[in-house]
Amino acid sequence: MTPPPPDSAWLGPVARWAGAPVVVTARAPLSGGYVADAVERIDLDAGGRPVSVVLKRARASEVAAMRAVAVVPGVDRPRLLAAGADRHGPWLVVPHYPGPALTSGDPPAEVWDVLGRVHTHWHRKRPRGLPVVDAGWWRGMVTGHALPAVRAARDRTGDARLAEVVGLLEAWATDQRLRTALAVLPRTLTHGDAHRGNVLLAHDGAVLIDWGNARVAPAGLDVATLAAQGITPPPAYRAPDLPPPLREVERLWATVQVHVQYLAFVADHLGTARVVEMVETAARALGELGPALRA
């Protein structure tokens, strides 16, 4: 387990946020996710007032994303309280937002408001320190992430349907329609993983957490991630302005992207039928993408 940074590295900025000197009173690992052993909830006494923060080891890109979110007008949650790096890697501190994750239904309007503000503020701009979704990134994601997991599932199960999926993914890694879409679509800061599980229903409002998969990509990526769970953007979401033909290209590209980027998880945990269903959805969108690009 990677050790946390020393308390002296982050107590000062947290005290300024709390408005009083702070003393650690308790700490415990947070459960859930794939990096739970690197995430702690820390309870503090701030001049007689209890406050809690989350201290986590993070990729440098997550720290960069939190800094980029922090400059967006009207967005104050999740709030970056402190960040740094040592010989064990980057780390960050945010307030602890107590509450359950969203398990069903639509995200509250404030989640869509945050996405709209972030997407609009960073439209056609590139925050520093974040990966850019372009043709090379797409190829690397398919060949280095989705394909190995599907091949392993194919070899493990012997299911011929997965052999067909492998062939499709190998072709899609360099598909010209996807390359063209990524060449013409404007990019912005995206959360990259905006599903229900990353929406916390805190007592004072919902918070979109875990920006560890943030990337510079077309805004439709976040919309399509939620759409895959049956969620439609409400009026609270104001998308960056695009002409209708380009908006349709974005929607179709994002549908392909979302249904491929989660294939590794699905192949490992949800079985062949779900993999096939997702690939069929991606194939339909890809089939429509060519005509949309010519419109």
Q: Concatenated DSSP letters for 33-95? A: SS-GGGEEEEEEEETTEEEEEEEEE--HHHHHHHHHHHTSTT--SSPP-EEEEETTEEEEEEE
Kindly state whether residues 89 and 154 are assigned to the same domain.
no
Residue 258 lies in a domain: yes
Q: Is the pLDDT of residue 33 over 80?
A: no
pLDDT given for residue 203 in this prediction: 86
pLDDT band at 34 (very low <50, low <70, confident <90, very high): very low
Kindly state whether residues 135 and 202 are assigned to the same domain.
yes
pLDDT given for residue 284 in this prediction: 98
pLDDT band at 32 (very low <50, low <70, confident <90, very high): low
pLDDT digits (tens, 9 = 90+) for 238-289: 899 999 999 999 999 999 999 999 999 999 999 999 999 999 999 999 999 9
Reported in sequence order, the residue ranges of the chain that DSSP labels E, i.e. its strands, are 22-29, 39-46, 49-57, 82-86, 89-95, 188-190, 199-202, 205-208, 215-217
Mean local confidence (pLDDT), 165-187: 98
The residue from 95, 126, 161 where one domain ends is 95
Kindly state whether residues 201 and 283 are assigned to the same domain.
yes
pLDDT digits (tens, 9 = 90+) for 59-116: 999 999 999 999 999 999 999 999 999 999 999 999 999 999 999 999 999 999 999 9
Q: Write down the pTM of the prediction.
A: 0.93
Mean local confidence (pLDDT), 206-234: 95
Residue 168 lies in a domain: yes
Mean local confidence (pLDDT), 171-195: 98
Residue ranges making up the domain that contains 11 = 7-95
pLDDT given for residue 38 in this prediction: 80
CATH value at residue 58: 3.30.200
